[in-house]
Structure 1
Amino acid sequence: MIGRVARLVWRVGKPRTIGVRALLLDRDGRVALVRHTYADHWYLPGGGVKKGESIPAALVRELAEEVAIADPVIERVLGVYHSRRESKDDHIVIFVVRTAASGILDRADLREIDQAGWFPLEDLPETTSPATRRRIAEYRRGATGTGAW
């Protein structure tokens, strides 16, 4: 019953959310991707911006929480996208981020992150999500993205 009421409130109120993701590159130019325990695809690391939190602070927090990156250097915004999936009104800000890290990419939150790894931009896992592939393609073209997720 509580779940049905919560879904109804969500549909009626359609709260706007803000998310962040990182196109995180290691010193060898490989991109970090994660597979969540609750999803089948590979994604760019990131998550939601908490109330009272700045967007860059959320990005730094998410990188620490998901892949234990403590030294991210934000280069630029790759794009800002809008998602209406799952009855949401979600805006996602993608940053291009560099790190001096290399080697094995750690999973910081084992309950949320099933796998994490560095991948060459031209050799992504077969199950990389379509939106993640689009963001990486935009980066490789030097484009700034906008529009639908």
Structure 2
Amino acid sequence: MQDVTPPEMSAFRYRVLTRVAHFVYFFIKGMTMGVRAACFDDQGRIFLVRHSYIPGWHMPGGGVERRETVREALAKELREEGNLELTAPPQLVHVYFNRRTSKRDHVVFYRCDVRQTTPRLRDREIVEAGFFPLDALPTGTTSATYRRLKELAGEAEFDDVW
């Protein structure tokens, strides 16, 4: 199987930051784990974010810290990246091996119903965020986001690799 790097992963700055972070994590953590979620509002729109340090539109998420449960990390990331609150219990969808990031990284993926408490304003981490209809995703939506949405819709089988 050929490993093809998606376009959003080709940014030099992102590759350098990712390698440095995972080099440091190698000494701090035995394995890295993150959470990411497909977050839908009551109109069926998905919430996406655009970060300052990585190209493309992504579903919200981030790393699970020491002494933090996966669900605590999920709630924290939704709050931090989108001012989002869960309106129902999150649904665990799948756990993926994220070999494009490192040989030790996994992503726990959820589907969530959410509401936004206040609009997410631009800051140093998140430069843009919002809800989008599934048939009108913004230009630059990552290939991983498209793959996860196809899996959720039953249009593709679940892969084990992010």
Letter in 2 for 1:106: R
Please list the CA deviations of residues 73-128 of structure 1 after superposition, one character each: whole Å capped at 9, or x if unmatched: 334112110011243411101111002449x8414x71110100111112212211
Q: Comparing both chains, which one has the higher relative contact order based on Cα–Cα distances under 8 Å and sequence gaps of 6 or more?
A: 1
1:68 aligns with 2:60: no
Q: Which has the higher strand share?
A: 1
2:126 aligned to which of 109, 113, 121? 113
- How far apart in 2 are the matches of 1:86 and 1:143? 23
How many angstroms does 1:14 deviate by? Answer: 8.2
Task: Work out the percentage of aligned pairs sharing the same amino acid.
Answer: 40
TM-score under structure 1 length normalisation:
0.82
- Conserved? CA contact 1:78–1:95, under 8 Å: yes
| CA distance 1:7–1:112, change in 2 (3 Å) | closer
Residues 24-33 or 83-92, more deviating: 83-92
> Corresponding residue for 2:144?
131
| CA distance 1:94–1:59, change in 2 (3 Å) | same
How many angstroms does 1:20 deviate by? Answer: 0.3
- How far apart in 2 are the matches of 1:68 and 1:39? 20
| CA distance 1:84–1:117, change in 2 (3 Å) | same
- How far apart in 1 are the matches of 2:94 and 2:55? 24
How many angstroms does 1:53 deviate by? Answer: 0.4
Task: Mark the runs of 5 or more structure 2 residues left unpaired by the alignment.
Answer: 1-19
RMSD of aligned residue pairs (Cα, Å): 3.0
How many angstroms does 1:16 deviate by? Answer: 1.2
1:85 aligned to which of 87, 97, 100? 100
> Corresponding residue for 1:15?
30
How many angstroms does 1:13 deviate by? Answer: 8.9
- How far apart in 2 are the matches of 1:9 and 1:71? 32
